[in-house]
Each structure stands twice: as C-alpha cells, then as structure tokens.
C-alpha cells in the first residue's frame, strides 16, 4: 500500500491560528459530527505522490489550543473517496513530457508530482478517525511525525548519488575529469552527500523502542539531519552545474539534433572527444538540468528546503532538544568555575 502523509494545510495568514483565519477552511476541520462518523472540509497542499497513493492519511499541521479544537483531526481514507479532488501542481519544464520520449526530459524513466487535495464535506467513518478534537495532542503528533519524516530524508542522498554520477560522467565526456579542481569538486560533492547519509543513519540507529514496541528516531539528530538537507543538496547542485558547463541550459532540443537543416551544426559544434557519442553527452546534460532546474529539482532542492518543515522549524527543535545545562557544566568544570561561583 502507498500512503500520502497529508499534514500541510494551506494556512492562509501565517500570523493567525486556524480559528482566526478570515476563511475558516484554510485549515482542514470537522464541520459535522454524526453517530457513524464525521464530515470534514478543507484542503492539504503540496501532497507528494497523492495521485498514486492508495490511502491518504490526514494529520494536523501545527500545535493547537482549545479555540482550534475543530481543526485537531486525524484520519485515513481511501484516496478515491467521494468528495476528494486532486489539483496537480505544475513543475518546471513539465510540458517536455508532452513532447514524446525525447532526451530533453532528462530522466526518461521516472518522475513525481504534488497536488492540492481538496476535501469538500467528506464523510469519515469513526473506525478511520485517529484524533478527534484532542487539540492538546496535536503538537506532539506534529513533532513526532516530523521527526520520522526528517529521518526519511535519506532519499536525497540517493538523488545526490545520481547527480554526482552525472557530474563525473559529463566531466569525462568533456575531457575535464583529470583537472585537479574537478576532482576536488567531485570529492566535495561526495563528502557532503555522505555527511547526509551519516545523519539519516545516525538518527535511526540512535533511536529507541517505545512502550508500544515501535521504534522512534533520535529527534535531535533527525532535526540536525534535516537542517543539513536544507543546505547540502543546493551546494551539490551548484558544483554539478559548475562541472557541467553552460550547455546544460543553452542546449538545443532533440528536434534540432534530428533536423535535416541544422542537425549537422549541432553535431559538429557540440562534439567533444571522438569516442563520446553526442547523444550521450546531451542526455547527461539534460539529466543534470532536470535534477537542478527541471521537474526533479522540485524534489531534490525545494522539497529539501521545505519538506517536513522549513529550516526554522528544525532550528526550534534543535534549540529545545540540546542539553545546554550539561554543556555549560562541562565547560565550567574544566576552567574551574564551581557551583557556588
Ligand atoms: C516539493 C514539496 C513536497 C511536499 N510534500 C508534502 C507532503 O507530501 N505532505 C505534506 O503534508 N506536506 C508536504 N510539503 C509541504 C511542506 O511540509 C511545507 O512546504 C512546509 O511545511 C512549509 O510550509 P509552506 O510551504 O506553507 O511555507 P510557509 O509556511 O509559508 O513558510 C515560508 C517561510 O515563512 C516562514 N514562516 C511561516 N509561518 C511563519 C510563522 N508563523 N512565524 C515565523 N515564520 C513563519 C517559514 O519558516 C518559511 O521561512 C511539501 C513541500 C514541498 C515544497
């Protein structure tokens, strides 16, 4: 089963809590309570993979107070339940997919999507409701879900592997791979990517078993890991663009390559080493474009920034979770400050 973890509400005016929004539906809420279930109204934004999910699991997006009680709701529904509408998000360069299976797509095998998911008075039977107006638990639910999700950003390490492989390939195709600064940039990309790998392994390995038997990640390390995710992929992408050269954004289309009129010029002027097929060079450039500027940059870059919470959300968690008293004691003991001082 594939599930969409649906936490993010549209949120309207960010300075106001749910019950003070000028439109009460800007956070998903309970609008009716029946003997057999509840009726909900609202939306969840940016939902990754929603259209290819079997189930959609709704959770509140922020901690709430008594006045927001109607918004403290969590439930799961089959994704094709009556009253749910999916409005697909656009992605940079998305219409290239409509041009046929050309190398201009960049990634010829896979893609992803996000959607605005609208709940227009949708009925949820009681057996599928996990939280009903228990507002005092919404903050805990958000923190725990976010921590698991922040650990799951191992996925960006996999994308990083692909981008590093693409950068090395284009450097070889271009005849630049032996230059010392190129080698050093590839090392830097690997060091950043493996640091991310360390983070996701660490917060899982340092987790603990809960009384229920499930395992919970180390929340401090999960937040540190996600904070690194908001930064390192951008640096890895910058280095990949440096190594790729400008052609990744000025390259003519596959149609031009195949054109009887100008194809010969594209072939002549974009060749590099004799043994490198031009088509291979153009394909790898398109992949780097796809990962750093195109449809896949949605997941590799902007989702790294905002997914599972924007950077500030992790900083708040880090400041709450570090044991500052213990750190101060260590420092003060070493320099001879005693408790009475
Ligand atoms: C590609 C992608 C995929 C995603 N997939 C999913 C998904 O599958 N499921 C899901 O539930 N969510 C998903 N998200 C949503 C993600 O969790 C949110 O983008 C994130 O929580 C930030 O919310 P926002 O986009 O509304 O930005 P905002 O909340 O508007 O944040 C923008 C900036 O304003 C700041 N800000 C906002 N409110 C305040 C405030 N009150 N006080 C101080 N500063 C504030 C933030 O810190 C940030 O710097 C996805 C996002 C992206 C980009």
**Per-residue pLDDT for 63 more than 80?**
yes
**C-alpha span between 104 and 96 (Å, rounded):** 7
User: What residues contact 246, with CB distance under 8 A and at least 6 apart?
Assistant: none
Q: Do 94 and 106 meet the contact criterion of CB atoms below 8 Å apart?
A: no
Instruction: Delineate the domains of the chain, giving CATH numbers in brackets.
Output: 3-133 (2.40.110.10), 143-329 (1.20.140.10)
Residue 60's pLDDT band (cuts 50, 70, 90): very high
Q: Using CA positions, which residue lies closest to atom 25 of ligand 1?
A: 306
Q: For residue 136, how far is its CA from the centre of ligand 1 (angstroms)?
A: 22
| Mean pLDDT, residues 273-292 | 97
Residue 114: in which H helix or E strand, if any?
A: strand 114-125
Q: Tell me whether strands 37-48 and 114-125 are parallel, antiparallel or unpaired.
A: antiparallel
**Per-residue pLDDT for 142 more than 80?**
yes
Q: What is the pLDDT of residue 101?
A: 80
> Ligand 1 atom closest to Cα of 313?
47
> Ligand 1 atom closest to Cα of 10?
26
Q: Using CA positions, which residue lies closest to atom 51 of ligand 1?
A: 307
Q: Three-state SS for 43?
A: strand
Q: What is the pLDDT of residue 341?
A: 67
Q: For residue 174, how far is its CA from the centre of ligand 1 (angstroms)?
A: 39
| pTM of the predicted structure, to 2 decimals | 0.95
Q: For residue 306, how far is its CA from the centre of ligand 1 (angstroms)?
A: 5
Model confidence pLDDT, tens digit, residues 86-118: 999 999 999 999 998 899 999 999 999 999 999
Nearest to 238 by CA among 175, 165, 185, 171: 185
**C-alpha span between 70 and 9 (Å, rounded):** 14
Rounded alpha-carbon distances, angstroms, from residue 25 to 115, 161, 162, 326: 17, 41, 41, 45
Q: What angle do CA 142, 146, 147 make, to 5 degrees?
A: 120
Model confidence pLDDT, tens digit, residues 210-244: 999 999 999 999 999 999 999 999 999 999 999 99
Q: What is the pLDDT of residue 238?
A: 98
Binding-site residues, ligand 1, Cβ < 6 A: 5-8, 11, 14-15, 44, 46-48, 114, 298-299, 302-303, 306-310, 312
User: Using CB atoms within 10 A of its CB, is residue 23 exposed (0-12), middle (13-18) or buried (19+)?
Assistant: exposed
- What is the dihedral angle through the alpha carbons of 128, 75, 90, 49, rounded to the nearest 10 degrees? -60
Q: What is the mean pLDDT of the chain?
A: 96
Q: Using CA positions, which residue lies closest to atom 39 of ligand 1?
A: 14
Q: What is the pLDDT of residue 339?
A: 75
Q: At what angle do helices 219-229 and 138-151 cross, to 10 degrees?
A: 60
């Amino acid at each position: 089963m594939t599930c969409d973890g649906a936490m993010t509400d549209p949120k309207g005016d960010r300075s106001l809590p749910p019950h003070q929004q000028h439109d009460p539906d800007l956070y998903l809420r309970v609008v009716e309570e029946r003997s057999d279930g509840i009726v909900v109204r609202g939306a969840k934004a940016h939902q990754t993979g929603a259209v290819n999910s079997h189930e959609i699991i709704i959770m509140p997006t922020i901690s709430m107070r008594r006045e927001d009680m109607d918004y403290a709701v969590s439930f799961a529904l089959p994704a094709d339940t009556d009253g749910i509408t999916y409005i697909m998000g656009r992605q940079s360069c998305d219409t290239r997919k409509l041009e046929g299976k050309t190398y201009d797509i960049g990634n010829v095998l896979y893609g992803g999507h996000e959607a605005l998911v609208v709940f227009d008075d949708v009925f949820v039977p009681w057996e599928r409701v996990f939280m009903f107006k228990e507002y005092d638990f919404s903050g805990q639910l958000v923190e725990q879900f976010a921590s698991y999700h922040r650990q799951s950003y191992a996925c960006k390490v996999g994308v990083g592997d692909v981008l590093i492989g693409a950068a090395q390939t284009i450097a070889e195709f271009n005849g630049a791979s032996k230059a010392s600064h190129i080698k050093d940039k590839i090392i830097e990309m690997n060091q950043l990517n493996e640091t991310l790998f360390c983070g996701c392994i660490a917060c899982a390995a340092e987790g603990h078993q809960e009384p229920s038997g499930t395992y919970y990640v180390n929340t401090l390390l999960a937040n540190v890991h996600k904070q690194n995710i908001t930064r390192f992929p951008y640096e890895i992408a910058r280095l990949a663009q440096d190594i790729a050269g400008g052609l990744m954004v000025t390259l003519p289309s596959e149609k031009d390559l195949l054109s009887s009129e100008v194809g010969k010029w594209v072939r002549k002027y974009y060749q590099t080493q004799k043994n490198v097929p031009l088509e291979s060079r153009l394909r790898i450039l398109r992949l780097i474009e796809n990962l750093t500027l195109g449809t896949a940059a949605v997941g590799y870059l902007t989702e790294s920034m905002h997914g599972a919470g924007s950077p500030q959300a992790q900083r708040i968690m880090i400041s709450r979770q570090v044991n500052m008293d213990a750190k101060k004691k260590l420092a003060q003991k070493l320099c001879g400050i005693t408790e009475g001082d």
